[in-house]
Structure 1
Amino acid sequence: MSESDGRVSAWSCDQVAQWLQGEGFGQYVDLLCSQHRVDGLSLLALTEADLRGPPLSLTVLGDVKRLTIVLRRLQRENRSELEELGLWPLDTPPAGLSQGAPRVEWNYGCNGADRLCNGTELRLRNSSRLGCVPGPTLCQTHSNGTFHQPMAGRLDPEVWKTVLSSIYVFLVCGLTSFVMVIVHERVPDMRTYPPLPDIFLDSVPRIPWAFVMAEACGLILCYMFVLILLLHKHRSILLRRLCSLMGTVFLLRCCTMFVTSLSVPGQHLKCASLSYGDTWGKIQRALAIWSGFGMTLTGVQTCGDYMFSGHTVVITMLNFFVTEYTPRNWNLIHTISWVLNLFGIFFILAAHEHYSIDVFIAFYITTRLFLYYHTLANTRAYQHSRRARIWFPMFSFFECNVNGPVPNQYNWPFNKPAFMKHLIG
């Protein structure tokens, strides 16, 4: 019996048996047609999950894959019939998921949406809530209808890329330190170029200890992120993204510091143009700034590096990573993170170490770049396009194998000691 003899949905079990014989799957005629009475309509609705899961439970992987291929070809050839029956597009969840386990379903549209999840529409199908995003997207549901965040189809650690991103941010920090040495030599004379008018600095008295408190806020945020990084299942991707984003922002900061030298924001800074001699002297000073992370807590004092605030960049970036890669119901952690971020910014301004525009621009650039990067990564909008490869080559390189949002899953990063394994069994 060929597929052209009438409508496939009208085939009887005997006709399905003839089709299976013709395709070389005669050994499954008794199982499908005699035991489970698969007719034409049932045949069109079969998926790989049906073949591998109960009650069929086919165990020969090659047969499962070959039968799936011919079934998909048959379904494509009879798409009009499936559309009339309301079976197209087919939900084709990957096989191997047991009953009661999280179920993965393909979703191709958002028509009839009546829920929201992560900013995308949801719809109800067979009393299960499915996530809808443009294009085929993997979404995770449980049998009780509870929705969970979309599952990423592929999340390779790609440690070698993480190493490259670490080298990238390491080199950018070195370049930033060297540029800070150069701009120190070009600091405008305070007698000729007094501090610029600034609404905040002119209105709020200087607090001498405020800058130390700003760095303390940054250290606390850093410890919080390191703890999250160690416990996160996809720690390699998190670290790679942090390094690539931090390196890019500080590379931009090198440009803004170098092209324009702002006057010193306050008389208390005692900044003046200072020459470090030859190239070797500049390198030694850059190494001192580099090794001290540019922090006053480590004894590093710099001048001229005002546009834009590096402290604001670090504090804001760490805050966004802490809140992005922790579950949404961790409200206490998110509140602490935002309080540290906002207080850190306030302390930077209260210390009169930066102009208000330095802090505002730093916060804006950091947040926009973080959101832009993650929007592209989560939607895969431009990962493989020519435009992305030209304008965002690093993004395309680092994210080409990350398929969708990174789920917030945690595990213990260290192996259990041998004696504990023996005790536990």
Structure 2
Amino acid sequence: MFIHEWSCNEVKVWLKSEGFEKYSELLCEKHEVDGDVLLSLTEKDLRNPPLQFKKLSDIKKLWRCLKLLQQKSKIERRVLNGVSHHKSNHIYTTTNNNNHHSDDGRGSSYDETDHSSYIDSDIEVSMRSRGKDVVFLPELNKLFVSFLYATFVSWVTAYMMVLVHERVPDKQKYPPLPDIFLDNVPLIPYAFQLAELCGLSLAIVWLFILFFHKHRMILLRRFFSIASSVFLLRSVTIIVTSLSVPGQHLQCSAMYHSAWQRFVRATEIVSGFGMTLTGVHTCGDYMFSGHTAYLTLFNHLITEYTPSKYYRLHTFSWVLNLFGIFFVLAAHEHYSIDVVIAFYITSRIFLYYHMLANTRCYWYSKRVKIWFPLLSYFECNVPGKIPNEYCWPVTRSDVKRWTQPLYNKNK
């Protein structure tokens, strides 16, 4: 039963569970406080008549518990609204089978952020008891926003790559910087193509998973959001400092004398996905490695959105990720620090994004909402960790529904 539906007896049970049994008679019997009234109580109500609690410690402790209860009720109402919207618009739903377990050793302190996952679990159990499913809405409007974000960042990154190409220091005057890996591993001319083949292999696996995943729209939205944030940060790092080329074999003599030429070159980079396999070659964008960023992102996406029992696939994904990084260095296209920073930043952004989204910690922190506005916007209606369930993107009923008007017209 949801909190706002509690009777006075259920409010008594809650008060007893929180250690406020001595106030159950005052609240429930004398003033008939039910679930709906309980959610509307404020700290001022506890201090002033007719309740007028005497102890400051009781006022503060009960008010803290009430705030958590009100936040939990808000989540319940959001999920209920999602279920109602789903039923009226025939949006597919799925049951979240990922249970959240509490940690009995978390101590006596009651931190609001730590209890967000327990709240989601309570809602899920409560909804199941009422015969309802946890809803994961596709929200195509947010997918479109994330696509626009990715498109914008792609152009910004490509244009920054054009600008830094013009600023590359003369390698005769500024030779390659000392690097512990590049100085001890000989140049392998075809290694960069091998790195891109590793990336393409991971991309194909990711697209295959995305095609069959039941919540593909949410996954695609997250991919656009995370990749765009990583490469927007990369655009800043490559423009603020220009490093000398990491190898004497690199030719960086191309110059662009007008804004139109820069625009055309940026278009070529975007259309070629920035890969040498498509004929795109750039210089100067060394801090940090874009190829390492994509290798790492695809690897984390594959391991996150496939079941843990697919350990062979996960091992294969990690091998391609690590070999791809090695080939980037063996081609002497980036300094060692470039790939280290790229791997760290990409993996941390991915992990932090999913930690916040899965536990919904941002609901209880204004600071998180301020610093991660896109995460708050994209994930506000996702009720928890996305289950790894798969299905055909188009069912027989979908085909029948689409072809029915044509059949009726011909008939």
TM-score, structure 2 normalization: 0.70
1:76 aligns with 2:76: no
1:316 aligns with 2:251: no
1:377 aligns with 2:357: yes
- Counterpart CA distance in 2 for 1:242 and 1:282 is 28
1:255 aligns with 2:236: yes
Deviation at 1:383, TM superposition (A): 3.6
Q: 1:159 corresponds to which residue?
A: 140
- Counterpart CA distance in 2 for 1:81 and 1:160 is 45
- Name the SS for the 1:201 alignment partner: coil
Deviation at 1:277, TM superposition (A): 1.1
Letter of the aligned partner of 1:75 in structure 2?
A: E
Deviations for 1:353-378, whole angstroms, at most 9, x for unmatched residues? 10001111100100111111111111
**Which one has the bigger strand percentage?**
1
1:414 aligns with 2:394: yes
Deviation at 1:389, TM superposition (A): 2.5
Does structure 1 conserve the Cα–Cα contact (< 8 Å) formed by 2:98 and 2:385? no
Does structure 2 conserve the Cα–Cα contact (< 8 Å) formed by 1:106 and 1:139? no
Q: 1:225 corresponds to which residue?
A: 206
The 1:367/1:78 distance shift into structure 2, 3 A limit, reads closer
Further displaced range: 320-329 or 152-161: 152-161
1:201 aligns with 2:194: no
Q: 1:341 corresponds to which residue?
A: 321
Stretches of structure 2 lacking an aligned partner (at least 5 in a row)? 20-75, 80-94, 107-113, 126-131, 405-411
Letter of the aligned partner of 1:354 in structure 2?
A: H
- Counterpart CA distance in 1 for 2:183 and 2:302 is 34
Q: 1:11 corresponds to which residue?
A: none
1:270 aligns with 2:251: yes
Instruction: Report how many aligned residue pairs link the two structures.
Output: 321
Q: 2:160 corresponds to which residue?
A: 179
The 1:375/1:343 distance shift into structure 2, 3 A limit, reads same
- Counterpart CA distance in 2 for 1:404 and 1:334 is 23
The 1:275/1:105 distance shift into structure 2, 3 A limit, reads closer
- Name the SS for the 1:275 alignment partner: coil
Q: 1:5 corresponds to which residue?
A: none
Does structure 2 conserve the Cα–Cα contact (< 8 Å) formed by 1:108 and 1:137? no
The 1:393/1:384 distance shift into structure 2, 3 A limit, reads farther
Does structure 2 conserve the Cα–Cα contact (< 8 Å) formed by 1:383 and 1:395? no
Q: 2:264 corresponds to which residue?
A: 284
* Larger RCO (alpha carbons 8 Å, 6+ apart): 2
Letter of the aligned partner of 2:167 in structure 1?
A: R
Letter of the aligned partner of 1:178 in structure 2?
A: Y
- Counterpart CA distance in 1 for 2:323 and 2:100 is 43
- Counterpart CA distance in 2 for 1:252 and 1:275 is 25
Deviation at 1:257, TM superposition (A): 0.5
Does structure 2 conserve the Cα–Cα contact (< 8 Å) formed by 1:152 and 1:406? no
Deviations for 1:97-144, whole angstroms, at most 9, x for unmatched residues? xxxxx999998954389xxxxxxx9xxxxxxxxxx97542327999xx
Deviation at 1:201, TM superposition (A): 0.4
Q: 1:111 corresponds to which residue?
A: 104
Question: Which protein shows a greater Rg?
Answer: 1
- Counterpart CA distance in 2 for 1:172 and 1:284 is 17
- Counterpart CA distance in 2 for 1:350 and 1:104 is 44
Stretches of structure 1 lacking an aligned partner (at least 5 in a row)? 1-46, 49-67, 85-92, 95-101, 114-120, 122-131, 143-150
TM-score, structure 1 normalization: 0.68
Deviation at 1:316, TM superposition (A): 0.5
Does structure 2 conserve the Cα–Cα contact (< 8 Å) formed by 1:104 and 1:139? no
- Counterpart CA distance in 2 for 1:237 and 1:296 is 31
Equivalences for 1:49-60 in 2 at 5 Å? none
The 1:246/1:83 distance shift into structure 2, 3 A limit, reads closer
- Counterpart CA distance in 1 for 2:267 and 2:217 is 28
Residue identity (%): 52
1:326 aligns with 2:306: yes
The 1:415/1:134 distance shift into structure 2, 3 A limit, reads closer
